[in-house]
Structure 1
Amino acid sequence: MRTVTSKDGTEIAYDRLGDGPPVVLMGGALNDRATCAPIAELLAPRFTTYNYDRRGRGASGDTPPYSLDREVEDLSRIVDEAAGEAFLFANCTGGMLALEAVARGLPITRLALYEPPYIVDDSHPRLDDAYVRDLDAMIAEGRNGDAVAHFLVKAVGFPPEAVAHFRTIPAWPALEALAPSLRYEAAIAGDNSLPTERVRAVAVPTLVMDGTESPPFQRTAMRELAATLPDVTYRSLEGQNHRLVPELVAPLLEEFFTV
């Protein structure tokens, strides 16, 4: 593990692996760098991967107050470590952050996204102020497990009985540890609207991926995202859903990033 110091003094942890053109890997909600570690290993024979913990998770620090600007500064410092420019892969809400960072002019030369959770129709409820208030209260009271369950039901759309099962899996304590960062995901997502003008400002070649078994609202949003981006390749993974499967995603990334 290595670290860099972001503009506000926060230590950001990352792993560097492989050799070749630099690729930065960035996770989404309830992810630390363990999520993208298998992808980093699969890409390492062809690329130098920079797989990092976003602030407030894993081994990275968390200097208050939170802001989107600071997350973009964190990513900028990682790109600095990658010789000043890089390819970028991000999943889930990390994809929303990645699009904003590239729209701001970060030196990303190719961008790949897996299902950033935009909503462009009325088939799925959007996040609202009540969701954020309840999430903040749960975290403030130390009810991290309830906060994770709240996210899974209200934001992701799992039925409560499915979440009851999730509480029994070995990974649940790790999800609870990441629960405070859900406030940051809510700040990034807003009401999940697609920021059309910001997306149109992303002029770099972009790969948009989704799964054919993801909910219809998610696939509709990915098609709309692809239609809005100026330079896009759109790929759907047969039989897959929102869960990131490294063995399927990594070959698409290798193909897209080989230029």
Structure 2
Amino acid sequence: MDKKTTSRDGTPLAYQSSGAGPAVILVSGAMSTGATVAPLAGHLADRFTVVPYDRRGRGHSGDTAPYSVDREVEDLGALIEAVGGQASLFGVSSGGALALHAAASGLPVRRVAVYETPYAVDEDGVRRWAEYTERLNGALAQQRRGDAVELFLRLTGMAEEMIQGARQAPMWAGMEGVAPSLAYDAAVLGDGRVPGSLLASVTVPVLAVAGGASPAWMRQAARTVAEAAPEGTYRALEGQTHMVDPVALAPVLAEFFAE
């Protein structure tokens, strides 16, 4: 991330910008930085100014306590101002929830696309989400960052032997470094349910995308997001999972953002 801007509360934000045309800001999900979504930028830069960034508490961006979702929305406001005063947003996973919050806030957002924002679609999912957030906040309050990362990896369905193997890998220290930001992703997802009232207030077009090979609940969550937004559209990408291939995703986003 070779550029910097500053959010309203003084937090420095690191970002990159490539290409030319209308601005599209890429919002990463949990346990990730702008580098995670940067490969997608290369497939959109022929038509757009594409802006991956490090969310607060990650990568080369700073952090300022106390955290609130409003502060992360202000971060996007600062980025939008830095790249010309108007932008579309693409958020992957929990980053999609942040993008939707930003669109509902009244920021100068043209369009919003989200990929598999992991909202719960039944009461069992809501219960599991509540258990996760309670245990996560407890681990972070006690500075047990490794345990917090483990909780997240279990939530994603990673096998126990893989989690224990990851603990021994060189990447683990970096994962523990961004563990506090797991609470930020939990905050933007709220109680885990699709935020119907928030989506009803989004006045710009919303595209909710899911992978055709992802679990059925992921596709249902995306459909529910599209149905709750006044100008919502749902798309499924055949053969794709939560780890979506930028080559498959980019044409869908380019068509949507160019409209």
Task: Indicate whether the TM-score tops 0.5.
Answer: yes
TM-score (norm 2): 0.92
Between 77-86 and 132-141, report the one with greater CA deviation: 132-141
Q: Following the alignment from structure 2 to structure 1, what is the Cα–Cα distance between the partners of residues 89 and 174? A: 25
Tell whether 2:218 aligns with 1:218: yes
Q: Following the alignment from structure 1 to structure 2, what is the Cα–Cα distance between the partners of residues 114 and 168? A: 31
Query: 3-state DSSP class of the match of 1:110?
Result: strand
Cα deviation for residue 141 of structure 1 reads: 4.6
Extract unaligned runs of 5+ from structure 1: none
Letter of the 1:46 counterpart: R
Letter of the 1:21 counterpart: P
Q: What are the within-5 Å matches in structure 2 for residues 130-209 of structure 1? A: 130-153=131-154, 155-167=155-167, 171-209=171-209
Task: Give the paired residue count.
Answer: 257
Match of 1:22 in 2: 23
Match of 2:46 in 1: 45
Q: Following the alignment from structure 1 to structure 2, what is the Cα–Cα distance between the partners of residues 206 and 171? A: 35
Query: 3-state DSSP class of the match of 2:140?
Result: helix
Letter of the 1:53 counterpart: D
Match of 2:103 in 1: 102
Match of 2:253 in 1: 253
> 2:227, 2:233 within 8 Å by CA — same for their partners in 1?
no
Cα deviation for residue 104 of structure 1 reads: 1.3
Cα deviation for residue 36 of structure 1 reads: 0.9
Q: Following the alignment from structure 2 to structure 1, what is the Cα–Cα distance between the partners of residues 234 and 169? A: 34
Match of 2:115 in 1: 114
Cα deviation for residue 131 of structure 1 reads: 3.0
1:7-47 residue CA offsets vs partner (Å, 9 max, x unmatched): 00100110111111111111111110011111112211211
Query: 3-state DSSP class of the match of 2:114?
Result: strand
TM-score (norm 1): 0.92
Match of 2:128 in 1: 126
Identical aligned residues as a percent: 47
Q: Following the alignment from structure 2 to structure 1, what is the Cα–Cα distance between the partners of residues 63 and 221? A: 31
> 2:211, 2:244 within 8 Å by CA — same for their partners in 1?
no
Structure 1 residue runs of 4+, over 6 Å off? Answer: none
Letter of the 1:91 counterpart: V
Structure 1 residues 123 and 162: alpha-carbon distance in aligned structure 2, compared to 1, 3 A threshold: farther
Query: 3-state DSSP class of the match of 2:194?
Result: coil
Extract unaligned runs of 5+ from structure 2: none
Cα deviation for residue 132 of structure 1 reads: 3.3
CA RMSD of aligned residues (A): 1.8
Tell whether 2:78 aligns with 1:77: yes
> 2:57, 2:180 within 8 Å by CA — same for their partners in 1?
yes
Match of 1:32 in 2: 33
Cα deviation for residue 187 of structure 1 reads: 1.4
Q: Following the alignment from structure 2 to structure 1, what is the Cα–Cα distance between the partners of residues 57 and 95? A: 14
Structure 1 residues 41 and 227: alpha-carbon distance in aligned structure 2, compared to 1, 3 A threshold: same
Query: 3-state DSSP class of the match of 1:148?
Result: helix
Letter of the 1:104 counterpart: S
1:209-257 residue CA offsets vs partner (Å, 9 max, x unmatched): 1011212222111111111111122111112111132121112111111
Match of 1:237 in 2: 237
Cα deviation for residue 6 of structure 1 reads: 0.6
